[in-house]
Chain A
Amino acid sequence: MIDPSHLGRAFGPYTVTVERERIRRFAETLGLPERVYYDEAAARAAGLPDLPAPPTLATCYGLWANLALLAELEALGAPLLRLLHGEQGYVYHAPVFAGDTLTGAPVIAALARKEGRRGPFQVLTLETRWRNQRGQLAITDTLVVVVLGA
């Protein structure tokens, strides 16, 4: 269980570069049919500067793919194997394309202790406001994770 005193705590910031190959592979794995995710010429023909980020691409930079952040949570008492993804939300403020750099500092936005049929658990909300290389807010990522056996 994460001590409630950690409410409001921020991690990072973390900076990532959105890569074309990442977009292509991610889109392919999900079976996204739009050519713009794979082909720069198709993206340009659609009036886009480069391959656009698929709607859930930010998950590649979020909690589950961020070993440093996972280690921070483990140190606070929430190890990976006790975490279950409960909800995910994205608000898109500015489009993201290959070549962009995103910087975000995940914050513990909410912590709630609950009683379930199999014992107590905790609901942790992490909010990350990703800004691009121009300082514009690009994506607000809200991730709700259940911490089992809290």
Chain B
Amino acid sequence: MPLFKTYRVGDELPGFETGPLTPEWFSRYAVASGDHNPLHTDPAVGQAAGHGGVIAHGMLVMGLLGRVAAHLGGPGALQEFRTRFQAPTRPGDRLRCGGRITAIYEREGRTFVEAELWAIGQDGVARASGAVVAAPLP
């Protein structure tokens, strides 16, 4: 785990790029999360909804952003985590997930760090953006 206090505003968090997303992954996520909305698993439903087929669960993308947020501290360090879903993620998309420190401050003797997060497709289109507030466990 990185040393929390060594971050400075403007620093990028370690990010990662996914391989091409697959319908199988969406199906596994449906089972793991209990979200069985057929929009994510049944191509006919995705087609009817105007997406040309299945799209990823937004929460799968937010979950991936959580992997970036984890660089701010281990489990329990997160205070707030928000994500806005901006465009559908489809099979074959590759997501570049990353983040950047936006604020560091002290409050009640603890150091808080805020970061913005992003998931951007191989086409340069943002699929989701987020924000996270973290404080190391006292």
Chain A residues with CB under 8 Å of chain B are: 22, 25-26, 28-34, 36-37, 46, 48, 52-56, 59-60, 64-65, 80-81, 84-92, 95, 142
- A55 and B76 contact, Cβ closer than 8 Å, known pairs A29-B29, A64-B59, A81-B45: no
Residues of A within 8 Å of B85, CB to CB, are: 84-88
Interface residues contributed by chain B, number (CB under 8 Å): 36
Q: Describe A's contact surface by its main secondary structure.
A: mixed
**B28 at the binding interface (Cβ < 8 Å):** yes
Q: Are B74 and A65 in contact (CB under 8 A)?
A: no
> Whole-angstrom distance from the CB of A86 to the nearest CB of chain B?
6
Task: Write the chain B residue with the least CB distance to A82.
Answer: B49
Residues of B within 8 Å of A28, CB to CB, are: 32
Measured in the bound complex, the distance between the Cα atoms of B8 and A111 in whole Å is 39
Q: Are A30 and B74 in contact (CB under 8 A)?
A: no
Task: Write the chain B residue with the least CB distance to A55.
Answer: B66
Q: Which of B45, B63, B84 contacts A87 (CB 8 A)?
A: B84
> Whole-angstrom distance from the CB of B90 to the nearest CB of chain A?
14
Residues of A within 8 Å of B33, CB to CB, are: 26, 29, 59-60, 64-65
Stretch in contact with the other chain, from B34-42, B108-116, B118-126? B34-42
Residues of A within 8 Å of B35, CB to CB, are: 59, 64-65
